Chain A
Amino acid sequence: MARFTVNGTVVTLDIEPEMPLLWALRNEIGLTGTKYGCGIAQCGACTVLVDGKAVRSCVLPVSGAEGKTITTIEGLATEGRPHPVQEAWVAEDVPQCGYCQSGQILSAVALLKQKPQPTDADINTITNICRCGTYVRVRRAIHRAAASKA
């Protein structure tokens, strides 16, 4: 049995301990906002927060998530209000196809926790891939979110 907390709800699943968290979220729990992109921790489309840190859920077996607190894109808003990073994303119209954006947003949320006023060099530590090439606006949105919290 795997047991962890997702977006504030305790989840118990009768699944293989080696099943990556990504597939537990998408196939067993039905939270499809977390995306499959590569399966080898390269692209970051599957990024979720595990105890507040950005983690590539495609290579984290559920055994490694045991007892931990997971936040997915669906759980980022509080009391119906989008997270400031989500608001910045909409304000800058960052998404194009949108497929990588859940992961981009959660990576940005994790960065801003560590570095509330990130430099461009700090932002460059985010390695999520966006094939549409939204990086110019990703950067702008992170700076905007930082400014809104300042």
Chain B
Amino acid sequence: MGEGIENITRRRFVVTGTTLAGGMALGLVVPGAAQAASPEMGARYWGADSVDPGEVNAWVLVNPDDSIVLRCPMAEMGQGTGSGLPMLLAEELECDWKKVKVEFASVNRNIRENNVYRDMLTVGSRGIRSTYEYVQQGGASARARLIAAAAARWGVPVEQCSAAQGAVRHVPSGRSQRYGQLAADAAKITLTAEPRIKLPVEFKLAGTRQPRLDSTVKSNGSAKFGIDTREAGQLYASIMSCPVPGGKLVSVDESVIAGRRGIRQVVKLDDAVAVVADNYWRANEALKALKIVWDGGAAATTDSGQFAQAYREALDGPMVTARNDGDAKGVVARSSHVVEAAYETPLLAHATMEPCNATVHLTADRLDIWMGSQSALANSRMAAQLTGLKPEQVYFHQAFLGGGFGRRSNGDELRHAILVAKAGKIDVPLQLLWSREQDMRADRFRPQSAIRMKGALSADGRLDALHIESVCGSIQRSSNPAAAADGLDNTALEGIGPSVPYNKVPNWYTGLLLKNTHIPVSYWRSVGGSQNTFYLESFIDELAHAAGRDPLEFRRSLTDRADALAVLNKLAEMSNWSSKLPKGTGRGISLADNHGAIGGHVAEVTVDDKGAVRVTRVFAATDAYHVVNPNLVEAQIEGGVIFGLTAMLYGDINVKNGAAQENNFDSYRMVRLADAPDVKTALALTGAMDEKGKPKWGGVGECSVAPIAAAVANAIFDAAGKRIRSLPFKNIKWTELTRL
């Protein structure tokens, strides 16, 4: 067994705390008897960086006792891919699922072994849909080698052998050998051709409801997140970036912390100050006490009011054409029934529960990194550049991620850790942890945007044309000003441009103006759909009401896509759409085509006469075409509703004097149990094949986030006749809102 496997086993049994005093074991975690025969994930997600002699290939390791280790190339941040992809591997391998252990594939091996695990990029709800082919191939290839090894041992043709439940059987004679007996030989087999991978109709394990593999380690405190890294001699750093993004550090008065216990040094970067100490709290308290002078530059005079006005005014300016079907401008100009509305949404922070952090140990010829990242491979390469080491000298230990949502990709926290370790000449492990305040204010936010939409309705209530003009922050340009040179950034178009569930609107224009400020913006769960689906689905509701048509039936008339119709039909059924609701309650529908799946909601709300809204129930239907594990798909859908609802009800980041003002959960409020609706989920899987004749796989991390805001806003309209055209709802002045 590899060193990683032994350590996982040890750590499962004893949670040992390393202390400055020399170590203390205060918690004992002994797995229950039931767990002995369950597939599992260790408390430590990352695997060994060395090649194990027991591995059949890079994906599959078979131990002599028949236990199996499967390597997963995707991060585990709650989305469940760490449980799902291994099911696909096991499906092809034909092993005993109960004997499987899962670990994160080694980034270092990926660098050394010609990208055997590919991009290792866990973003865009692509954990299954972009990986299934090579992951299934890894499992199928390992199975073929095990069969070939058995056939060679018995001197029989491979065609006479079959594999099932972790053993190869010679069918004519009934002879059988377990994988554990065959693995060493199988590793030496060279296949003349790769076996074909299974189609979903051939699946036995994949597609069935299974428990997630990390529930136990995440219920007993043993799961290791990046923040839990404790290496011998480790130091801790807290850092503060210039509150105005792009600003610079002028000076630091360190005298105020002179003589404080445990403080090792103050490290000054161009745009940040860090304090290094033997205990994080000491570091952070000292950092807070420092007298720091910043130069925010010209941006230090800006605020959210200016931004909002500038985005609104830009709607009147020139646009770059992103989509132009038919003659939307002409049809709108000639129409006698045009509906027009302007909407806007603010900046949003990611606010992952685990504040961003990275632990690094930098030596002359090796860098070890412990953190949770959505982009471990790209982060490793960035780390090599920052340190001058070769990529193969970087060892990335992928911990569980305490939430990702798009924040844990670009490695800002890792860059900080490396720069502090370098500048401070720190040769012991250094954990750099962003305080919550730093995490929120130094975020790369969901872009701010404003939009104007016009719809032309025919006399009989058909939607003849949609005319959309959007002003939106560009994610691509935010990290690379030369990007989106043609003025189009797909991330700003999701939900209003190409990726919409409707294909029967004859005239459709989408114009886009990219507009950035000094505030960095980035991917935020459901990306463009987070604002654009709110806009489009609210506006379609406006159009349906203006046309005197039922909002669900109106949507059906806008599409003949099987996936969109399947979701609409499922929603109608599960929400009992045509039933009457009592006074003061309302029901709203919304639909999205977002990152690989069609997601739709019917939200039910109660609204009192002062405008207090309570979201009571959400019905969520999803077409993700094929899914690996319905249990985890449903969890993603349930959670996405809450994530999107927080943004709808409470989410905004306001800028004052160039700096984000909200910096913790008191000012940046979250949905809690008391305002969390009941969420009923249903899958409406159409199981389609793609244009290449391959099974179409969905991605479900984001398709339930995008539609929830409009579903709730439309339900509020249904209940109270008031239209919500800007978010968050908490800022709505109810009495000033006209009843329509």
Residues on B with beta carbons closer than 8 Å to the beta carbon of A135:
642, 671-673, 676
Question: Do A39 and B435 touch (CB < 8 A)?
Answer: yes
Q: Say yes or no: is A90 at the interface (Cβ < 8 Å to chain B).
A: yes
Least distance between A12 CB and chain B CB atoms (Å): 9
Say whether, besides A31-B17, A37-B436, A131 and B351 are in contact (CB < 8 Å).
Answer: yes
Count class of interface residues, chain A: 35 or more
Cα of A130 to Cα of B641 in the assembled complex, Å? 12
A 84-112 contacts with B by CB, 8 A: 86, 89-90, 93-102, 105
Question: Do A97 and B673 touch (CB < 8 A)?
Answer: no
Question: Do B19 and A30 touch (CB < 8 A)?
Answer: yes
Question: Do A132 and B230 touch (CB < 8 A)?
Answer: no
Residues of A within 8 A of B (CB): 6-9, 11, 16, 19-20, 22-23, 26-40, 42-43, 45, 72-77, 80-82, 86, 89-90, 93-102, 105, 123-139
Residues on B with beta carbons closer than 8 Å to the beta carbon of A130:
353, 642
Identify 20 new A-B residue pairs, CB closer than 8 A, beyond the known A99-B225, A133-B641.
A31-B221, A32-B17, A35-B225, A36-B227, A36-B280, A38-B436, A38-B664, A39-B436, A72-B26, A72-B27, A74-B28, A75-B26, A75-B27, A90-B216, A93-B212, A99-B400, A105-B219, A124-B673, A126-B672, A126-B673
Closest 10 CB pairs of A and B: A30-B17, A33-B221, A74-B27, A133-B642, A98-B218, A99-B402, A96-B78, A97-B78, A73-B221, A80-B30
Complex interface: stretch among B327-335, B571-579, B595-603, B631-639: B631-639
Contact sample, A vs B, 12 pairs, CB 8 Å cutoff = A9-B24, A23-B281, A33-B27, A42-B665, A82-B220, A97-B404, A98-B225, A98-B402, A131-B353, A133-B645, A137-B635, A139-B676
Question: Do A33 and B673 touch (CB < 8 A)?
Answer: no
B 1-20 contacts with A by CB, 8 A: 15-20
Residues of B within 8 A of A (CB): 15-21, 23-24, 26-30, 32, 77-80, 211-212, 214-225, 227-228, 230, 236, 261, 279-281, 351-355, 400-405, 433, 435-436, 631-632, 635-636, 638-643, 645, 664-666, 670-674, 676, 678-679
Least distance between B214 CB and chain A CB atoms (Å): 7
Least distance between B45 CB and chain A CB atoms (Å): 11
Question: Do A101 and B219 touch (CB < 8 A)?
Answer: yes
Least distance between B225 CB and chain A CB atoms (Å): 6
Residues on B with beta carbons closer than 8 Å to the beta carbon of A137:
635, 638
Least distance between A87 CB and chain B CB atoms (Å): 8
Residues on A with beta carbons closer than 8 Å to the beta carbon of B643:
131-133
Cα of A98 to Cα of B43 in the assembled complex, Å? 12
Residues on B with beta carbons closer than 8 Å to the beta carbon of A97:
77-78, 352-354, 400-404
Question: Do B353 and A45 touch (CB < 8 A)?
Answer: yes
Least distance between B426 CB and chain A CB atoms (Å): 17
Question: Do B635 and A28 touch (CB < 8 A)?
Answer: no
Residues on B with beta carbons closer than 8 Å to the beta carbon of A102:
221
Residues on B with beta carbons closer than 8 Å to the beta carbon of A80:
28, 30, 32
Nearest chain B residue, comparing its CB with the CB of A134: B639
Say whether, besides A74-B29, A77-B30, A98-B78, A136 and B228 are in contact (CB < 8 Å).
Answer: no
Cα of A27 to Cα of B279 in the assembled complex, Å? 6
Residues on B with beta carbons closer than 8 Å to the beta carbon of A40:
436, 664-666
Nearest chain A residue, comparing its CB with the CB of B217: A98
Residues on B with beta carbons closer than 8 Å to the beta carbon of A93:
211-212, 215, 631-632, 635
Cα of A26 to Cα of B122 in the assembled complex, Å? 29
Question: Do B635 and A134 touch (CB < 8 A)?
Answer: yes
Question: Do A96 and B402 touch (CB < 8 A)?
Answer: no
Question: Do B23 and A30 touch (CB < 8 A)?
Answer: yes
Cα of A76 to Cα of B27 in the assembled complex, Å? 9
> A29, A38, A95, A123: which contacts B17 (Cβ < 8 A)?
A29
Cα of A140 to Cα of B506 in the assembled complex, Å? 46
Nearest chain A residue, comparing its CB with the CB of B31: A80
Cα of A123 to Cα of B401 in the assembled complex, Å? 27
Say whether, besides A35-B227, A74-B27, A90 and B78 are in contact (CB < 8 Å).
Answer: no
Least distance between B49 CB and chain A CB atoms (Å): 23
Question: Do B403 and A31 touch (CB < 8 A)?
Answer: no
Cα of A7 to Cα of B16 in the assembled complex, Å? 13
Residues on A with beta carbons closer than 8 Å to the beta carbon of B78:
95-98, 132
Question: Do A42 and B674 touch (CB < 8 A)?
Answer: no
Residues on A with beta carbons closer than 8 Å to the beta carbon of B79:
96
Cα of A124 to Cα of B405 in the assembled complex, Å? 26
Question: Do B230 and A89 touch (CB < 8 A)?
Answer: no
Residues on B with beta carbons closer than 8 Å to the beta carbon of A7:
26-27
Cα of A22 to Cα of B436 in the assembled complex, Å? 15
Question: Do A16 and B261 touch (CB < 8 A)?
Answer: yes
Residues on B with beta carbons closer than 8 Å to the beta carbon of A75:
26-27
Residues on A with beta carbons closer than 8 Å to the beta carbon of B32:
80-82
Cα of A38 to Cα of B223 in the assembled complex, Å? 20
Residues on A with beta carbons closer than 8 Å to the beta carbon of B676:
133, 135-136, 139
Residues on A with beta carbons closer than 8 Å to the beta carbon of B279:
19, 23, 27-28
Say whether, besides A27-B279, A31-B27, A95-B218, A138 and B19 are in contact (CB < 8 Å).
Answer: no
User: In the complex, which of the residues B18, B228, B435, B665 has the most CB atoms of chain A within 10 Å of its own CB atom?
Assistant: B665
Residues on A with beta carbons closer than 8 Å to the beta carbon of B666:
40, 42
Question: Do B19 and A38 touch (CB < 8 A)?
Answer: no
Cα of A23 to Cα of B277 in the assembled complex, Å? 13
Cα of A72 to Cα of B15 in the assembled complex, Å? 12
Say whether, besides A30-B230, A40-B666, A96-B639, A133 and B671 are in contact (CB < 8 Å).
Answer: yes
Cα of A42 to Cα of B664 in the assembled complex, Å? 8
Cα of A138 to Cα of B353 in the assembled complex, Å? 16
Nearest chain B residue, comparing its CB with the CB of A8: B26
Residues on A with beta carbons closer than 8 Å to the beta carbon of B215:
89-90, 93-95
> B217, B354, B631, B640: which contacts A133 (Cβ < 8 A)?
B640
Residues on A with beta carbons closer than 8 Å to the beta carbon of B403:
97, 99, 131-132
User: In the complex, which of the residues A23, A126, A131 has the most CB atoms of chain B within 10 Å of its own CB atom?
Assistant: A131
> B15, B351, B433: which contacts A33 (Cβ < 8 A)?
B15
Cα of A88 to Cα of B308 in the assembled complex, Å? 47
Question: Do B29 and A99 touch (CB < 8 A)?
Answer: no
User: In the complex, which of the residues A19, A22, A98, A100 has the most CB atoms of chain B within 10 Å of its own CB atom?
Assistant: A98
> A36, A39, A76, A138: which contacts B220 (Cβ < 8 A)?
A76
Residues on B with beta carbons closer than 8 Å to the beta carbon of A125:
674
Residues on B with beta carbons closer than 8 Å to the beta carbon of A81:
32
